[in-house]
Amino acid sequence: MEFGQSRALFRRAQELIPGGVNSPVRACRAVGMDPLFIQRADGCHLWDADGNRYIDYVGSWGPMILGHRHPVVMEAVARALERGTSFGAPTDLEIELAELVSAAVPAVEMVRMVNSGTEATMSALRLARGVTGRDTIVKFDGCYHGHADMLLVDAGSGVATLNIPGSPGIPQAVTAQTVSLPFNDTQALRDLMDARGREVAAVIVEPVAGNMGLVPPAPGFLEALRQETARTDSVLIFDEVMTGFRVAYGGAQSLFGITPDLTCFGKIIGGGFPVGAYGGRRDLMAQIAPQGSIYQAGTLSGNPVAMSAGIATLKALRRDGVYHALETRSRRLAEGLQSIAARFGVSAVCNRVGSMLGLFFRPGEVRCFEDAKASDLQRFARYYRGMLAAGVYLAPSQFEALFVSLAHDETAIEATLEAAQRVLAELAT
């Protein structure tokens, strides 16, 4: 494949944009490449600036569950644009999307729209601190909840990819109130809550971790979170920015039968546009201004074009058979990758929950961030480059999940497995 146009664009970008990218993991340094610049997308495919076509498993980092340029979303956006792009005032579309989210997720009795997952988690934590009068936040190693100062502690996603332990520019006093525990370590959680539970405003977690690769919750882990936060009157926050409407229509909380106090959303509820949201119990959400005194605002929150895309996406996901199709295709891909790796003697394990999966280049289970970090990152980089050359577009990091969409039909899945067979055979040598 030729990448001349992408290289030229990257040189231009580096003159004006830090690192040449507007989000760090896009730089592709971890896999020994420069980023590709994407020209267009359709269905499950992307085309780069040089005209190369790829089967896409990034899906804009999760939102494109219907596939790119899905007709119902494109039509909804076109209709919204006829009304205007932004009003800075309420519209009926905000109510409709809020009704869809609340109906799908019973724990969400009220919801506030924002513009990103980072805004959602930051705002939910402010709410938790405000209603409890406490300062301490508990998170888990390898979980990434956006780039708010208090959350860049042992974080996943780009922080893990670039091996940045935190970030300069964040005062120590800000992170001093954040405690990070090993993911899936129920005993560590219980010990902390026994010792300091009455100081804890909130425990925030990705119920399925998607920012250290893909790591499912261990049996009993989420249940323990619910028990311990209830016992200490702390707020349990599920960060379902990735998992909301992805692993099930009602999110991970419906899949595992756990009811958090607050839930954060993003990605899919924007249908490809920048949207986030946080919601939960009515008594908590009523404390948000202007109904209450805990302040949070946003000029573009509830943007009508983004609301329209989200409404169209969620309505499409309600159709019969949607999640069965996603499950079937995702299982075929995950089992196929695991089988091929085993056939060629490549140490690898493929974790999956619903249409999210991750392939780790290491033997044994991956149940936490330390397990994920023990993966062979050089082998992953070779795998990434080989799959890209074979026409398969993956996230350029061992610590990111893959996303399957409804547009990934049997032909796309089989083509991906054929590419993996060639690449993993080479890695075995």
One domain, residues 301 and 375: no
Strands 110-114, 402-403: parallel, antiparallel or unpaired by DSSP?
unpaired
pTM attached to this predicted model: 0.95
Q: Compute the distance between CA of residue 358 and CA of residue 395 in angstroms, rounded to an integer.
A: 10
> Which pLDDT score is estimated for 365?
96
Last residue in a domain, options 297, 317, 337 = 317
One domain, residues 350 and 231: no
The DSSP string of 24-42 is GGGG-GGGT-PPPPEEEEE
One domain, residues 95 and 34: no
> Which pLDDT score is estimated for 169?
74
Q: Compute the distance between CA of residue 272 and CA of residue 407 in angstroms, rounded to an integer.
A: 15
pLDDT in tens, the chain (429 residues): 889 999 999 999 999 999 999 999 899 999 999 999 999 999 999 999 999 999 999 999 999 999 999 999 999 999 999 999 999 999 999 999 999 999 999 999 999 999 999 999 999 999 999 999 999 999 999 999 998 888 877 654 555 555 555 567 777 878 889 999 999 999 999 999 999 999 999 999 999 999 999 999 999 999 999 999 999 999 999 999 999 999 999 999 999 999 999 999 999 999 999 999 999 999 999 999 999 999 999 999 999 999 999 999 999 999 999 999 999 999 999 999 999 999 999 999 999 999 999 999 999 999 999 999 999 999 999 999 999 999 999 999 999 999 999 999 999 999 999 999 999 999 987
Tokens representing residue 337 in the block: 């990758």
Report the 10 Å Cβ neighbour count for 378: 11
Last residue in a domain, options 317, 334, 365 = 317
Q: Name the residue type at position 371.
A: D
One domain, residues 141 and 258: yes
> Which pLDDT score is estimated for 367?
97
Q: Is the CB of residue 423 less than 8 Å from the CB of residue 390?
A: yes
Q: Which residues are catalytic?
A: 144, 239, 267
Q: Name the residue type at position 190.
A: R
Structural domain range at position 346: 4-69+320-427
Last residue in a domain, options 300, 317, 334 = 317
Q: Which residues contact residue 83 at a Cβ distance below 8 angstroms, ignoring those fewer than 6 apart?
A: 304
Q: Is the CB of residue 112 less than 8 Å from the CB of residue 296?
A: yes
Long-range contacts of 339-344, Cβ-Cβ distance < 8 Å, separation of 24 or more: 340/417, 340/420, 340/421, 340/424, 341/424, 344/424, 344/425, 344/427, 344/428
One domain, residues 139 and 263: yes
One domain, residues 309 and 364: no
Q: Compute the distance between CA of residue 389 and CA of residue 339 in angstroms, rounded to an integer.
A: 22
Number of domains making up the chain = 2
Respond yes or no on whether the N-terminal peptide bond of residue 290 is cis (omega within 30° of 0). Answer: yes
Residue 204's SS3 state is strand
- Check which CATH number belongs to the domain holding 180 and give it: 3.40.640.10
160 membership: H or E segment, kind and range: helix 158-161
C-alpha dist (Å) from residue 258 to 124, 226, 252, 267, 368: 18, 7, 8, 21, 20
Q: Is the CB of residue 356 less than 8 Å from the CB of residue 246?
A: yes
Q: Compute the distance between CA of residue 236 and CA of residue 230 in angstroms, rounded to an integer.
A: 8
Q: Compute the distance between CA of residue 21 and CA of residue 19 in angstroms, rounded to an integer.
A: 5
One domain, residues 262 and 330: no
Burial of 23 (0-12, 13-18, 19+ CB in 10 A): exposed
One domain, residues 338 and 306: no
> Which pLDDT score is estimated for 156?
47
> Which pLDDT score is estimated for 147?
87
CA angle 195-159-243, nearest 5°?
75
With tokens 């954060």, the residue in question is 264
